[in-house]
Every structure is written in structure tokens, then in C-alpha cells.
Amino acid sequence: METGANWLDQEQQQIWRNWLSGVARINQHLDADLRTRGLDLAEYEILVALSEAEGRRLRMSELAELVHQSRSRLTHAISRLERRGIVSRSSASDDRRGVYAHLTDEGFGVLEAAAPDHVNAVREVFVDVADPRDFEALGRVMKAVLDSPF
């Protein structure tokens, strides 16, 4: 039976599976670490994106794209953060359908408190376990993936 698939060889298959398992393991570790601070990894990414935006605010649609979440999932996360006073929402003055998410001062404080431990966790599970040349090669691979038009 001809499938037309360009099958991975054994080494490629192993590297691919290691990549999937490694990413899952890293994300689980980082998520568990952030939960000790009352955040999960997805919420932390939201706070980082907002902290880097002008005026610490972004349209919800733009934020969803930046953090790679569906609009529905982002809305639920923002609602949780809003109940805690970490984020607030407001309607766009130029477009009544548009909604902005704002990182509050309290939210910025939560991010500042969580960031040092999070960076240390990223180093522990990702940066420091790799040979510097391998780390650089991985960076080139990921840039190529992000630059790919697929």
C-alpha cells in the first residue's frame, strides 16, 4: 500500500519523540513551579506579554496570538486573573467590539515576584542541561521553524 508519506528514519523518529517528550516534561516542570506562586505557565506567559506591551495593555485578539491560545481559553484565563486583581479589561474606545487586557500594578508585582524563580527553573530544566553548542543549534532550528511558511 502506497501512502505517499516521506517516513522518518529511525534516528529522525527518535529525535522527534525526544523533542515531544522533552517539551512536555519542561512544560510540566515549569507549570508546577509556577503553581507554587499561584500561577500556571499559560497565565505567566500572559503576564509577560502584557508587561512587554506599551502601557502594559493589549487587545485580547493580539494577546491570544502572542501567547498561542484560543480566544476562548484566553478569555477564561483573563477572567481568573481579573478576579485576583492581576489583570483588568476595558472596551476599546475606537472599536466597541474590541477589548483590552491591562496588567495592573498588582499583577506587575506578581510577575516581578515570580520571574526570578521562573528564570532559575528555565535554566535548570533547559538552558543548563544543554551543551552551549547544542543550545545554539536548537535556537537556529527553532528560528527556521518559526520562519518557515508552512
Q: What is the pLDDT of residues 30-60, one digit of tens each?
A: 999 999 999 999 999 999 999 999 999 999 9
Q: How far, in Å, CA of 14 to CA of 23, rounded?
A: 14
Q: Residue 58: helix, strand or coil by DSSP? A: strand
Q: How far, in Å, CA of 58 to CA of 45, rounded?
A: 13
pTM: predicted TM-score of the whole model, two decimal places: 0.90
* All domains in the chain, ordered by first residue: 24-114 (1.10.10.10)
Share of the chain above pLDDT 90, in %: 92
Sheet of 87-92: strand order equals: 57-59, 95-103, 87-92
> Is pLDDT at 150 greater than 70 in this prediction?
yes
Q: How far, in Å, CA of 81 to CA of 75, rounded?
A: 10
- If you count DSSP H runs as helices and E runs as strands, how many of each does the chain have, helices first? 6, 3
Q: Are strands 87-92 and 95-103 parallel, antiparallel or unpaired?
A: antiparallel
pLDDT band at 1 (very low <50, low <70, confident <90, very high): low
Strand partners, 88: 102
Give which of 57, 67, 69 is closest to 99, Cα–Cα: 57
Backbone angles phi, psi at 96, to 5 degrees: -60, -25
pLDDT band at 93 (very low <50, low <70, confident <90, very high): confident
> Is pLDDT at 2 greater than 70 in this prediction?
no
Strand partners, 92: 95
C-alpha cell at 13: 523518529
